[in-house]
Structure formats: C-alpha cells, structure tokens
Amino acid sequence: MAQKRVLMKGNEVIAEAAIRAGCRNYFGYPITPQTEVMHYMAKKMVQVGGNFVQAESEVAAINMVYGAAAAGFRVMTSSSSPGISLKQEGISYIAGAELPAVVVNIVRAGPGLGGIQPAQGDYFQATKGGGHGDYRNIVIAPASVQELYELVVEAFNLADKYRMTCMIVGDGTLGQMMEPVAFRDEEPVETIAKPWAACGRKGDSFHHTVTSIYIDPDVLEKKNLELQDKYKIVEANEVRYEAINMEDAEIVITAFSTCSRISRNVIRQAAELGIKVGMIRPITLWPFPYKAISEAADMPSVKAFLDVELNAGQMIEDVRLGVNGKKPVYFHGRLGGNLPMQKEILDKIVAIHEGKITEGGNF
Amino acid sequence: MIDFSVIFAGFGGQGILSAGKMAAEAALYEGKEVSWFPSYGPEMRGGTANCSVVFSDEPIGSPVVNDADVVICLNQPSMEKFEKQLKPGALMILDSSLIKTRPTRTDIKVIAMEASDIASELGKMMFAPITMLGCMATATGCFTRDSFEKSLYEILPERKHNLIPINMEAFDRGAAFAK
C-alpha cells in the first residue's frame, strides 16, 4: 500500500529508495548537482546500520563499489558527469567481473569541467560503453521524482538479476526539484542468491574468485560471448518506454527525462493549434525501444519525428536506427546547461507541420 | 486548475526557497500535483535566489516555468528579470519596502505591498515572503488559508508549532493587500 505523499527532492529520493531497496553500502565523492544524495546517505546509512564512506576520489569510490558487490552486498555510488568519467575504468571492471552495482549520474553540462546546469550530453557515454571493452550497462532515465523512486528500487533488482551495472541517468532538474512521492509500505525487493560472492569460504572446500582477467584469448572470447548472450536477454526483456498521445499522432516527439517533461506541455499547446503531437519517451536508454520507434514510423498518420535533447544530438542516432529512413527526423537541442523554452519546441513543431524546415537540427 | 505556475525571486537568505516550498506543501495538502524547482548554482548569501512552483489538478508537465501566472519579487533585480516571464494579464506581487520602481509592462496586474516592513513589525524578516504568500493565495485562490495552516501543522515538528500563529498573522497581513 502506498503511504501518504510527501514533498521530497529528487536527490534525496534516490538515497531513500536505495536504502529501501536494501542497499547498505554507499561510496561516493561530492559533486554538484548530486551532493544531496551523499548528504542524505551520510545521515541515514548510520541509522540503518549500513556503510557510508566519503571516498578520497571517484576512482576510489567505484573500486569500493566493486569490492562490496564482489562480497555479495547491494551497493551504490552516485556522481555527476566529470566524476562519472573517472568511474569508467571501475565500471568496465564491474562489467568484466559480472558484478551487480547501481551507479547514478546526475548529468551536468560538459565537456570537461563544463558547468553545473542540466544537460544530457552523457547519453553516448552511458549507452555506448563509456569504459573500455565490449560491455553494456542497463541505463534508466526517470522523468519524475515518483518514477525516480520506483526505478531506483528496480535498478537494484535488475543489477542483481543480470549481474551488471544499472545506471540511473538524470540531470539537475530531476535531482534538485521537489515533487510529491508516495513510498510503498513494502518494497518489491527481489532477493537473489549470490553463490558466486567472494565472502569467505565458510566451510566450503574452495574459495570464490571474482575477476575480469582472462589471459587466454579462447577463454576470454568465451567469456565475452557469454556477456553478449546476457545482453541479448536484457534487450529482449527489459525495454521500457512510455507512449503518450500516440493515437493518430502526426508528429512524434522523442525525448527522455527532463526534455520529455517540457515536451508534455508542448503536446498540449500544439493540440490547441490543431496539430496532433505524440511522444515516445524511452525509460530505458539501453536497451533502447527501437521497436516502438519503428512501429511509430510505420503508422500512416505519422509524418515526422522531432527529437528533443539537452545535447547536440545523441539519442537521435538511436531514433534514426528505429525509424530506419521511413520518416524524416528533425532535431531540437540546447547546450551548455540551458533548457529549451516550450515555445522553441512549439515553433519547431509548427514549422515541421507547415513543411517549412529541412531535416536536421538547430546546429 | 492546470499548471498554475509561480516564480519566487529575491536575494538568498530572504526565505524565497522556503516560501516556495510552503506554497507547494499547501497545494499538496489539497491533493494537487506540485513541483518545486530551485535555481541552483555557485551562489552565496546575498546572491540571487529563485524557485519555480507549479500546482495542477493533472500530472505536471514541465517543472521549469517560462510563462508564470504569478511572480513574487523581493528585490529590484528580480523584478526587472522576471517581469518578462509573466503571462499577459498575470500577477506580480512586489515588496515595495525594497523595490522602489515598478514594472514597465502594462499588461500585467501589480500588487505592491510593504512586505519587509510588515515582517520587521512581526519581528523577523523571514515573514516577508509569507505575507506575500497570503496575498497570492487570496488574490488567486491557488490554495486556501486553511490548507496553508494545516500543512504547516503537518510539515513542522511539534516543537515549532508555537510559531504557526505568527506565520498565520503574516499570511493574514499580506492577504489584506489582495482585496
């Protein structure tokens, strides 16, 4: 049963959700705009008998995550873009060693030290690798504080189920805003046995080894093929998206997280002008909802797609793979930490509707 | 009501972000959907602060406000910046104790009230934005006085309940300017 709704900040909800999901190990290093995650953890982890460490660096924190995960514990770290870049080596090792971990990236504007305002420039990094080697992370992009809560809990289940990193991607809008959240009395925590965990022999005749080093190419190839098989299962089972107003849609917006929130208002404003706009909002950025996009591209009513992002056009590559040339794909993006005004997006919709712009973006 | 949006703006330390949160709590108490989004950045006490609050009977689209229904201003720079972000016909409530000029736009409603002077009379400057909440709630009906008071009892720890009557006095002093 859901409890009474309380007003909470996105970052604090991430921490609360993790604790509710049974996470008793948090290692991090402060960075705006996600520091409230750490702040909340510092206060609450002690109360539930868990471990909180403000590590000496992001690199140290992700390696602590590796250690706790290898010992079979639910564990999380959080950071923002430059910090997540530092964690990539560890995330690759976690993939190689097949460990379950939850990593949160409250994205800021880059590249480099960049700025601290909302951005989505880490889409490529999150979905196409980030670290070295052939690996994947499950990447989840919540759009509201309530959804953030539910999906952080789910991230721990998915990480355990597939023994891989589940990454939550948001930005300063989601992390800093307060919205009502209704916590459940009991969380749907799926307890999965971890017979592989390296937590002492405990009377067994052998010890467990957690490693990502396989010197023999044949052994490493086999290991890689096993990973690829696992990723195929994730692709088949874990795609999540929300289809909004798609019936008879003429123009389909594709947008995730913050951009989907701004676009919701635009859909309503376009309807007032007599333009039917729908939206496909990917909730999992990997695995990506290619099929939903492809089916939308097949709809006779759909004339075009408009991809809206806080970057120079990253998810649009996946949207185009889904559309596969069947319909034109337009783009609207903002950079540097700026958010698009609703009117900017609406103007673009009107221009597309009237056939007044050529395919491509605003850059 | 769909996406009724308010911008609170002033100097850091005036209680801008808290007042926004109190408004959101009052609307939440009425069962509305709400969002509260603060400006965040490398600011310090005395720097500018603002937050956007949206109330709605339906799930809220954007928490980021471009065209506000109400702007509450507690300093001159905020008035100049945010008068551009009001819908035509929308309401600006400004603290005339601190703001000596008036908006240049003629297509908006303006209520000028001596919020900081009233707050000073009540003993604490932090009451200034509360008086303006009283004015806003009364002028627009975005939430009721009763919801505001009851939400305070809910969100404040019991040891602070003794402060609620004076907050309500601030609210009522502001409400008088809406009539």
Instruction: Find the CB nearest A7 among B36, B38, B63.
Output: B36
Inspect the interface and report whether the beta carbons of A172 and B25 lie closer than 8 Å: no
**Cβ neighbours of B156 in A, within 8 Å:** none
| pLDDT grade for A204, boundaries at 50, 70 and 90 | confident
Is the pLDDT confidence value at A176 over 90?
yes
Domains identified in chain B and CATH numbers: 4-178 (3.40.920.10)
Instruction: Find the CB nearest B37 among A176, A263, A268.
Output: A176
Inspect the interface and report whether the beta carbons of B64 and A264 lie closer than 8 Å: no
Q: Residue B8 is which amino acid? A: F
| pLDDT grade for B2, boundaries at 50, 70 and 90 | confident
Inspect the interface and report whether the beta carbons of B40 and A33 lie closer than 8 Å: yes
Instruction: Find the CB nearest A116 among B41, B60, B63.
Output: B41
**Across all residues in chain A, what is the average pLDDT?**
96
Is the pLDDT confidence value at A1 over 80?
no
Is the pLDDT confidence value at B31 over 90?
yes
**Across all residues in chain B, what is the average pLDDT?**
95
* 3-state per-residue secondary structure call for chain A: CECCCEEEEHHHHHHHHHHHCCCCEEEECCCCCCHHHHHHHHHHHHHCCCEEEECCCHHHHHHHHHHHHHCCCCEEEEECHHHHHHHHHHHHHHHHCCCCEEEEEEEECCCCCCCCCECCCCHHHHHCCCCCCCCCCEEECCCCHHHHHHHHHHHHHHHHHHCCEEEEEEEHHHHHCEEEECCECCCCCCCCCCCCCCCCCCCCCCCCCCCCCCCCHHHHHHHHHHHHHHHHHHHHHCCCEEEECCCCCCEEEECCCHHHHHHHHHHHHHHHCCCCEEEEEECEEECCCHHHHHHHHHCCCCCEEEEEECCCCCHHHHHHHHHCCCCCEEEEECCCCCCCCHHHHHHHHHHHHCCCCCCECCC
Q: Which residues are within 8 A (CB) of A160 and not within 5 positions of it... i.e. 6 or more apart?
A: A74, A100, A190, A192, A194
Domains identified in chain A and CATH numbers: 6-237 (3.40.50.970), 241-353 (3.40.50.920)
Give the pLDDT of residue A325. Answer: 97
Q: How far apart are CA A113 and CA A238, in angstroms?
A: 33
Give the pLDDT of residue A157. Answer: 98
| pLDDT grade for A361, boundaries at 50, 70 and 90 | low
Q: Is the CA virtual torsion A202, A205, A207, A208 positive or negative?
A: negative
Chain B residue with minimum CA distance to A342: B66
Q: pLDDT tens digit string along B32-70?
A: 999 999 988 776 677 889 999 999 999 999 999 989 999
**Considering chain B, what percentage of its residues have pLDDT values greater than 90?**
91
Q: Is the CA virtual torsion A38, A43, A46, A47 positive or negative?
A: negative
State how far residue B38 is from chain A, nearest Cα, in angstroms: 7
Inspect the interface and report whether the beta carbons of A117 and B63 lie closer than 8 Å: no
Taking one residue from A and the other from B, the number of pairs with CB-CB distance under 8 angstroms is 62
Q: How far apart are CA A252 and CA A356, in angstroms?
A: 17
**Considering chain A, what percentage of its residues have pLDDT values greater than 70?**
98
Give the pLDDT of residue A153. Answer: 98
∠ CA A257-A176-A53 to the nearest 5 degrees?
A: 105
Inspect the interface and report whether the beta carbons of A343 and B66 lie closer than 8 Å: yes
Inspect the interface and report whether the beta carbons of A178 and B21 lie closer than 8 Å: yes
Chain A residue with minimum CA distance to B42: A116
**Cβ neighbours of A5 in B, within 8 Å:** 28
Inspect the interface and report whether the beta carbons of B37 and A342 lie closer than 8 Å: no
Is the pLDDT confidence value at B122 over 90?
yes
* Torsion on CA atoms B174, B74, B156, A179, rounded to nearest 10: 110
Is the pLDDT confidence value at A206 over 90?
no
Contact yes or no for A242/A278 (Cβ under 8 A): no
pTM of the model: 0.96
Inspect the interface and report whether the beta carbons of B66 and A33 lie closer than 8 Å: no
**Cβ neighbours of B35 in A, within 8 Å:** 177-179
Inspect the interface and report whether the beta carbons of B63 and A179 lie closer than 8 Å: yes
Helix axes B164-175, B115-122, angle to 10 degrees: 150
Contact yes or no for A133/A95 (Cβ under 8 A): yes
State how far residue A339 is from chain B, nearest Cα, in angstroms: 9
CA A24 to chain centre: 21
Chain A residue with minimum CA distance to B65: A341
Given strand A277-282, what is the order of strands in its sheet? A241-244, A277-282, A251-254, A304-309, A329-333
B172-to-A204, B10, B169 alpha-carbon distances in Å: 72, 21, 5
Instruction: Find the CB nearest B62 among A5, A7, A342.
Output: A342
Q: pLDDT tens digit string along A72-126?
A: 999 999 999 999 999 999 999 999 999 999 999 999 999 999 999 999 999 999 9
Instruction: Find the CB nearest A7 among B3, B25, B37.
Output: B25
Give the pLDDT of residue A266. Answer: 96
∠ CA A283-A343-B85 to the nearest 5 degrees?
A: 110
Q: Tell me which of A2-6, A312-316, A333-337 is least confident.
A: A2-6
| pLDDT grade for A289, boundaries at 50, 70 and 90 | very high
**Considering chain A, what percentage of its residues have pLDDT values greater than 90?**
94
Beta-bridge partners for B128: none
Give the pLDDT of residue A360. Answer: 65
Chain B: which residues have CB within 8 Å of chain A? 3, 21, 24-25, 28, 33-38, 40-42, 59-64, 66, 155
| pLDDT grade for A203, boundaries at 50, 70 and 90 | confident
Could you give the ipTM of this predicted complex?
0.94
**Cβ neighbours of A341 in B, within 8 Å:** 66
State how far residue A25 is from chain B, nearest Cα, in angstroms: 28
Inspect the interface and report whether the beta carbons of B38 and A177 lie closer than 8 Å: yes
Inspect the interface and report whether the beta carbons of A179 and B36 lie closer than 8 Å: yes
